[in-house]
Structure 1
Amino acid sequence: MPKYYASMMCADMKKLEQEIWSLEEALIDGYHLDVMDGSFVPNFALGLGDIKAIRKLTKKTLDVHLMINNPENHIDLFINLGADMISFHLNSTKHVDKLINNISSKGVKVGIALNPSESLEELRYIIEKLDFVLVMGVNPGFAGQKYIEYTDEKIRDLKKLIDSRNLDVKIYLDGAVTKERVKYLNEEGVEGYILGTSLLFNKPEDYKSIIKKIV
């Protein structure tokens, strides 16, 4: 069964405890925490206080997506805040291999977030060191964007690469995830989805009803 992670940048942080309670009742698998510095992407998102508060309210997986420059300078900080998974972007650091090794050595799952226009060629030499690839279906930085259709082809090609090497690397999709998209991408090898405003948040139905329709 695919994993479903709630994108907390889309949640109502003014009533965080209630949001977490409702998501737990819906049997969400974990929480996707976008961290943005206003430089690597033109937006700011979840701060350290937000992550700390979420960690106190749940024992479920915290999936930290770093959209920041020089993430290697802050890895220990996010691990100490309770990150179970950390992904970063290839062009955010000069030493990709070193950063992968550092995260992995501390018992945290490590992934690469792949922007829509980025080629799989950049993953070819490091994919065996990864636990997951976070495929971006939109350009990172803002919620509510339109899905970039060639993402589907990239997912199919990524699945072929993983299978050709018999690797246990998970494919996750982040951006414009809908019920219909989940249904057909399950068949293409996607094993985890980041749920935001396209499917989960700001909808008339409660979270439990929405999740029930897609599992």
Structure 2
Amino acid sequence: MEKLLCPSMMCANYGNLSEEVEKLEKAGADIFHIDIMDGQFVPNFGMGLQDVEFICKKATIPVDAHLMIENPGSYVEKFAKMGIKIIYIHPESDVHPTRTLQSIIDAGATPGIAINPGTAVATIKPLLPFVKYVMVMSVNPGFAGQKYISSVDEKIKELIELKEKYGYEVMLDGACSPERVETLSKMGVKGFILGTSALFGKGKPYKELLDGLRAL
């Protein structure tokens, strides 16, 4: 199955962000993934708006934004204007998630939802007709380098069974090791957010690592 390989730019080398973007694009990355955190919905702060704006201007491939923030609907237009092509929201953080998903479409971006490890598929099922991507969090959101929570495997299977009916793709964010990329892509997961488990800090060229993941 063809994969979407999406570097998590929170893990990139900020000493030379411009070079990182160029290297990752030349290596064959499909989508740049940007984590936005407000210190409230998750106990951490993510990438700054200046970094987001720079990556959007520099990149020639799509850039997505994972909004781990309260009231994401208030910021949809801001991120869309920056050039973000895919916007993920957490339904738990929004009083009216359907309205926010529609506002993403109206702003010219593609809507997605992110599902925490403790969120059941049944609770987000009414939102599935409105999204193009469902991103399963296999770690608790907010921090890089966490261990994979194996209980999400059943949730992934359930979402894969439903995806043809609703027309979305399943993505995975968190502890995406090469072994997991291989296993879950064969099951039907389309995209993988790549951090320190498979891409960054490995001491190997990005192209070698991405080519290896794509060949699995």
TM-score where L is the length of structure 2: 0.96
User: Contact 2:57–2:83 (CA<8 Å) still a contact in 1?
Assistant: no
Partner of 2:153: 152
CA distance in structure 2 between the aligned counterparts of 1:128 and 1:170, rounded to whole angstroms: 12
Q: What is the correspondence of 1:59-70 to structure 2 with a 5 Å cutoff?
A: 59-70=60-71
Q: What is the CA distance between 1:33 and its match in structure 2?
A: 0.3
Q: What is the CA distance between 1:105 and its match in structure 2?
A: 2.2
CA distance in structure 2 between the aligned counterparts of 1:43 and 1:170, rounded to whole angstroms: 28
User: Contact 2:80–2:108 (CA<8 Å) still a contact in 1?
Assistant: no
Q: What is the CA distance between 1:209 and its match in structure 2?
A: 0.6
Q: What is the CA distance between 1:12 and its match in structure 2?
A: 1.1
Uncovered stretches (5+) of structure 2, i.e. residues with no partner: none
Q: What is the correspondence of 1:1-215 to structure 2 with a 5 Å cutoff?
A: 1-163=2-164, 165=165, 167-215=166-214
Tell me the matched-pair count: 213
Taking only aligned residues, the RMSD between alpha carbons, in angstroms, comes to 0.9
1:89-117 alpha-carbon deviations (Å, 9 max, x no partner): 01111011111111112221101100001
CA distance in structure 2 between the aligned counterparts of 1:159 and 1:107, rounded to whole angstroms: 26
Uncovered stretches (5+) of structure 1, i.e. residues with no partner: none
CA distance in structure 1 between the aligned counterparts of 2:113 and 2:52, rounded to whole angstroms: 20
AA in 2 matched with 1:119: A
1:11-44 alpha-carbon deviations (Å, 9 max, x no partner): 1112101111110111100100000011110111
CA distance in structure 1 between the aligned counterparts of 2:56 and 2:88, rounded to whole angstroms: 18
CA distance in structure 2 between the aligned counterparts of 1:23 and 1:172, rounded to whole angstroms: 19
- SS of the equivalent of 2:170 reads strand
- SS of the equivalent of 2:126 reads coil
Q: What is the CA distance between 1:59 and its match in structure 2?
A: 1.6
CA distance in structure 2 between the aligned counterparts of 1:109 and 1:178, rounded to whole angstroms: 27
Which consecutive aligned stretches of 4+ in structure 1 deviate over 3 angstroms post-superposition?
none
Q: What is the CA distance between 1:214 and its match in structure 2?
A: 1.1
1:143-179 alpha-carbon deviations (Å, 9 max, x no partner): 000000011111101111223x2x3200000000011
In proportion to residue count, which structure has more helix? 2
AA in 1 matched with 2:204: E
- SS of the equivalent of 1:66 reads strand
- SS of the equivalent of 1:87 reads strand
User: Contact 2:77–2:107 (CA<8 Å) still a contact in 1?
Assistant: no
- SS of the equivalent of 2:118 reads coil
AA in 2 matched with 1:46: M
Percent identity reads 41
- SS of the equivalent of 2:28 reads coil
